[in-house]
Amino acid sequence: MSENMVVEVLAAHADHLIDNEADGEDYLNLFPAHRDELAPLLRIAERVRAVLVPVAPAPAFEAGLKQDLIAAAIQRTEEQGSGKRVSLFRRRRVLIGAAAVGSALSVAGIVAALLWRQRSIARA
């Protein structure tokens, strides 16, 4: 049997196993000449299926973790909000500072211009 065919048979068998419909014997009867090759693989798949059953976390754990996560998510959102507020406040302070420096430079420029003018008049 080609490898591709084995792959497809195992995939189909697994799909039926999940739906609790598979019987390895059905597949072996379909390919009697390949019984020796297929049988151990189908058997091991059925054993794996029997062992890997869904489990559920303890309800107390599940509920407790949800509560903690939601509390952490709320705190995170609040921190992000206050972070934004802080950055807006900082931006406003920088703007006020820049405006103050600009005003001071303008006044100094006017004073310098007046002094220069006075000196020029005195020299004349």
Contact between residue 13 and residue 27 where contact means Cβ atoms under 8 Å apart: yes
Is 61 among the residues that bind another protein (CB under 8 A)?
yes
Residues 6+ apart with CB under 8 A from 57: none
**Site mask for another protein (CB under 8 A), range 72-111, x = bound:** xxx-xx--x-------------------------------
Could you tell me the two tokens for 57? 């976390």
Cα angle 116-122-124, degrees, rounded to a multiple of 5: 105
Q: How far is the CB of 68 from another protein (least distance, A)?
A: 8
Is 23 among the residues that bind another protein (CB under 8 A)?
no
Which residue in 8, 23, 26, 79 binds another protein (CB under 8 A)? 8
Contact between residue 38 and residue 9 where contact means Cβ atoms under 8 Å apart: yes
Is 28 among the residues that bind another protein (CB under 8 A)?
no
In the bound state with another protein, the residue whose beta carbon lies nearer, of 51 and 121, is: 51
In the bound state with another protein, the residue whose beta carbon lies nearer, of 25 and 62, is: 62
Could you tell me the two tokens for 123? 């020299």
